[in-house]
Amino acid sequence: MIHHEGIHHVSLIVTDIERAKAFYTDLIGLQEIQRPAFDFPGAWFAVGSGGQQLHLLVHDGETKRSRGIDSRDGHFAIRVTDFDATIAWLTECGIEHRHNRNSITGFAQIFLLDPDRNIIELNAAR
């Protein structure tokens, strides 16, 4: 049996590292952290205070999604503290999103796409 402590990191493929870094710092509010000197471009971010991380990787062979926001597709989730303020911020920034305050999951959910069409979930306790 495997004992879990939580998500350590999620890696996403991006096409433009500077654009992706701006999205995750300026819009989502993540803090960039030190990354080892790999032989390929990327960036690492701290997510919350529990040690979880987001890793962005530049890779020429990435696939593109042609669909819009589909919560059944691969994604990662970040817990937010204020659901309504998050929706207001996304709307103010002109970011397309879907939200479900009464999700069957038991927590309120917001789904959006990053600039490379990776699906991001922002969720909050109800």
Per-residue pLDDT reduced to its tens digit, 43-85: 999 999 888 999 998 876 545 555 678 776 778 899 999 999 9
Structural domain harbouring 94: 67-125
- CB 42 within 8 Å of CB 58: yes
10 lies in the same domain as 54: yes
Domain count, the chain: 2
pLDDT value, residue 10: 93
φ, ψ of residue 23 to 5 degrees: the values are -60, -50
- Report the mean per-residue pLDDT for the chain: 88
Rounded CA-CA distance 14/115 in Å is 8
What pLDDT is attached to residue 106? 87
55 lies in the same domain as 72: no
Task: Report the b/e string of 6-37 with b at 16+ CB within 10 A.
Answer: ebeebebbbeeeeebbebbeebbebeeeeeee
- Tell whether 73 and 117 lie within a shared domain: yes
Alpha-carbon gap, residue 10 to 37, rounded angstroms: 19
Q: Are residues 14 and 54 in the same domain?
A: yes
Prediction pTM value? 0.74
Helix residue ranges per DSSP H, 1-126: 17-22, 83-92
Domain of 18, CATH number, reads 3.10.180.10
